[in-house]
Amino acid sequence: MATDARLRIYFTGVGGQGTLTATNLLAKTALMTGLDVVAGEVHGMAQRGGVVESVLLLGGLRSPKLDLNEADLLLGFEPLETLRGLPYLAPNGVVISSSNQLPPLSVSLGAANYPDLETIKANVNKVARKAFFLPARELGVQAGSIQSGNTVLIACACACGILPFDIETLKKGINTFLAPKLQPANLKALDLAKEYLQKEYSK
Amino acid sequence: MSKHPLLSEKAGEIQLLLGNEAIVRGALEAGVQMVTCYPGTPSSEVVDTFKRIQAPERYRMEYSINEKVAMEVACGAALGGAMSLVTMKHVGLNVAADPLFTTAYTGLPGGLVVLSADDPGCHSSQNEQDNRGYARIAHLPCFEPAQAKEAYAMTKAAFALARELEQPIMLRTTTRISHVRGPVTFGELPQKTSLVPFQKNPQRFVPLPAVARKRHVAVEEAMEKARLVAEKSPFNIEKNQPTPVEFGIVTSGVARNYLFDALISQGLEDKVDIFELGMTWPLPTERLANFLTRHKNVLVLEEGDAYLEHDLRALAQEKGLNVQISGKDATLTDLGEYSHRLVAKRLARWLGTPEPKEPENLNIQELPNRPPNLCPGCSHRSVYYAARKVFGDSVVYSSDIGCYTLGVVPPMRAADFLFCMGSSISGGSGLAAMGQKVVSFIGDSTFFHSGLTGLANAVFNKHNLLLVILDNGTTAMTGHQPNPGMLQESLGDNCVHLDLEAIVKSFGVTDLQTINAYNVRSLIKAFTEFKDKDGVRVIIAKQPCVLYAKRQLRKVQPNVAVVISQGEETLTCLKELACPAFYRNGDDVAVDPSLCAGCMVCLQIAPKSFKAVKREEVKS
Residue B219 parent element (H or E)? helix B209-232
Residue B308 parent element (H or E)? helix B307-319
Question: Which pLDDT score is estimated for A1?
Answer: 35
CA atoms within 13 Å, Cβ hemisphere of B304: 24
Amino acid in position B45: E
- Best B21, B261, B370, B478 member to test A by mutation, with max A CBs in 10 Å, is B370
* Angstrom distance (rounded) from CA A148 to CA A138: 10
Q: Any CB–CB contact under 8 A between A176 and chain B? A: no
Report how far Cα A83 is from the mean position of its chain's Cα atoms. Answer: 13
SS (H, E, C) chain A: CCCCCCEEEEEEEECCCCHHHHHHHHHHHHHHCCCCEEEEECCCHHHCCCEEEEEEEECCCCCCCCCCCCEEEEEECCHHHHHHHHHHEEEEEEEEEECCCCCCHHHHCCCCCCCCHHHHHHHHHHHCCEEEEECHHHHHHHHCCHHHHHHHHHHHHHHCCCCCCCHHHHHHHHHHHCCHHHHHHHHHHHHHHHHHHHHHHCC
ipTM at complex level: 0.93
Within chain B, what is the greatest distance between any pair of CA atoms?
83
Give tens-digit pLDDT for B97-139. Answer: 999 999 999 999 999 999 999 999 998 899 999 999 999 999 9
Q: Does A114 sit within 8 Å of B477, measured CB to CB?
A: no
Domain B5-232 fold is Rossmann fold (3.40.50)
Q: Any CB–CB contact under 8 A between A110 and chain B? A: yes
Listed in sequence order, the residues at least 6 apart from B335 whose beta carbon sits closer than 8 Å to its beta carbon are B128
Helix axis angle, B19-30 to B44-53, nearest 10°: 50
Q: Does B364 sit within 8 Å of A108, measured CB to CB?
A: no
* Angstrom distance (rounded) from CA B100 to CA B219: 13
* Angstrom distance (rounded) from CA B428 to CA B458: 9
Chain A positions touching B44 (Cβ under 8 A) are 43
* Angstrom distance (rounded) from CA B268 to CA B272: 7
Q: Does A41 sit within 8 Å of B179, measured CB to CB?
A: yes
Of residues A39, A66, A91, nearest to B181 (C-beta): A39
Q: Does B16 sit within 8 Å of A28, measured CB to CB?
A: yes
Listed in sequence order, the residues at least 6 apart from A74 whose beta carbon sits closer than 8 Å to its beta carbon are A9, A10, A12, A82, A85, A86, A88, A89, A93, A94, A95, A96, A97, A128
For the whole model, what pTM was predicted?
A: 0.95
The CA dihedral of B580, B585, B589, B595, to the nearest 10 degrees, is: -30
For residues B298 and B312, the answer to whether their CB atoms sit within 8 Å is yes
Amino acid in position B437: K
Q: Does A45 sit within 8 Å of B123, measured CB to CB?
A: yes
Q: Does A68 sit within 8 Å of B365, measured CB to CB?
A: no
For residues A151 and A21, the answer to whether their CB atoms sit within 8 Å is no
Nearest chain B residue (CA) to A106 = B368
* Angstrom distance (rounded) from CA B272 to CA A71: 27
3-class DSSP state of B516: strand
* Angstrom distance (rounded) from CA A125 to CA B242: 47
Chain B positions touching A87 (Cβ under 8 A) are 359, 361-362, 364
**B279: β partners:** B143
Q: Does B372 sit within 8 Å of A49, measured CB to CB?
A: yes
Chain A positions touching B360 (Cβ under 8 A) are 69, 91, 127
Listed in sequence order, the residues at least 6 apart from B91 whose beta carbon sits closer than 8 Å to its beta carbon are B40, B125, B126, B127, B129, B420, B421
Q: What DSSP assignment string belongs to B146-201?
A: SSHHHHHHHHHHHHHHHHHHTS-EEEEEEHHHHTEEEEEE--PPPSPPPPPPP---
Q: What's the DSSP call for residue B461?
A: T
Q: How far apart are the first and last CA of chain B?
A: 36
Q: Which CATH number fits domain B237-351: 3.30.56.10, 3.40.710.10, 3.40.50.920, 3.40.50.2000?
A: 3.40.50.920
Question: Would you tell me which residues 85-104 of chain A have a C-beta closer than 8 angstroms to some C-beta of chain B?
Answer: 86-87, 91, 103-104
Of residues A47, A110, A127, nearest to B362 (C-beta): A127
Q: Does B14 sit within 8 Å of A38, measured CB to CB?
A: no
Q: Any CB–CB contact under 8 A between B337 and chain A? A: yes
- Label residue A45 by pLDDT band (50, 70, 90): low
**A89: β partners:** A71
How near does any CA of chain B get to the CA of A82, in Å? Answer: 11
Amino acid in position A91: P
Give tens-digit pLDDT for B8-41. Answer: 999 999 999 999 999 999 999 999 999 999 999 9
CA atoms within 13 Å, Cβ hemisphere of B86: 32
Question: Which pLDDT score is estimated for A46?
Answer: 52
How near does any CA of chain B get to the CA of A153, in Å? Answer: 21
For residues B395 and B438, the answer to whether their CB atoms sit within 8 Å is yes
Chain A positions touching B146 (Cβ under 8 A) are 62
* Angstrom distance (rounded) from CA A185 to CA A145: 6
Give tens-digit pLDDT for A155-189. Answer: 999 998 999 999 999 999 999 999 999 999 999 99
- The Cβ of residue B237 has, within 10 Å, a number of other Cβ atoms equal to 12
A&B contacts, CB < 8 Å: 156
Domain ranges of chain B: 5-232, 237-351, 379-551, 559-617
Q: Does B123 sit within 8 Å of A38, measured CB to CB?
A: no
Q: Does B176 sit within 8 Å of A40, measured CB to CB?
A: yes
- The Cβ of residue B363 has, within 10 Å, a number of other Cβ atoms equal to 8
Of residues B42, B365, B583, nearest to A103 (C-beta): B583
Question: Would you tell me which residues 373-412 of chain B have a C-beta closer than 8 angstroms to some C-beta of chain A?
Answer: 373-375, 403, 406
**Range list of H helices, B330-480:** 340-351, 379-391, 423-433, 444-446, 452-460
Chain A positions touching B359 (Cβ under 8 A) are 67-69, 87
Q: Any CB–CB contact under 8 A between B438 and chain A? A: no
Q: Any CB–CB contact under 8 A between A61 and chain B? A: yes
Buried b (16+ CB within 10 A) or exposed e, A15-35: bbbbbbebbbbbbbbbbbeeb
**Is the domain B379-551 a CATH 3.40.50.300 member?**
no
* Angstrom distance (rounded) from CA A26 to CA B571: 44
- Say if B237-351 and B379-551 have the same CATH topology: yes
A109 vs B209: which has the higher pLDDT: B209
CA atoms within 13 Å, Cβ hemisphere of B115: 41
Instruction: Please state, in angstroms and as integers, the Cα–Cα distance from residue B252 to each residue in B258, B275, B472, following that order.
Output: 11, 9, 41
* Angstrom distance (rounded) from CA A74 to CA A90: 9
* Angstrom distance (rounded) from CA B215 to CA B103: 10
Nearest chain B residue (CA) to A30 = B16
* Angstrom distance (rounded) from CA A26 to CA A173: 8
Instruction: Please state, in angstroms and as integers, the Cα–Cα distance from residue B239 to each residue in B181, B272, B277, B281, following that order.
Output: 25, 9, 11, 20
- Best B14, B16, B477 member to test A by mutation, with max A CBs in 10 Å, is B16
Q: Does A62 sit within 8 Å of B362, measured CB to CB?
A: no
- The Cβ of residue B503 has, within 10 Å, a number of other Cβ atoms equal to 17
Q: What's the DSSP call for residue B560?
A: E
Q: Which domains does chain A have, with CATH numbers?
A: 7-201 (3.40.920.10)
Of residues B338, B367, B403, nearest to A80 (C-beta): B367
Q: Any CB–CB contact under 8 A between A68 and chain B? A: yes
- Label residue A4 by pLDDT band (50, 70, 90): low
The low-confidence residues of chain B, meaning pLDDT below 50, are none
CA atoms within 13 Å, Cβ hemisphere of B426: 15
Nearest chain A residue (CA) to B403 = A45
Q: Any CB–CB contact under 8 A between A117 and chain B? A: no
Instruction: Please state, in angstroms and as integers, the Cα–Cα distance from residue B72 to each residue in A36, A42, B77, B109, B198, following that order.
Output: 41, 30, 8, 15, 16
Percent of chain B with pLDDT over 70: 100
How near does any CA of chain A get to the CA of B368, in Å? Answer: 6
* Angstrom distance (rounded) from CA A74 to CA A85: 8
Of residues A48, A66, A67, nearest to B375 (C-beta): A48
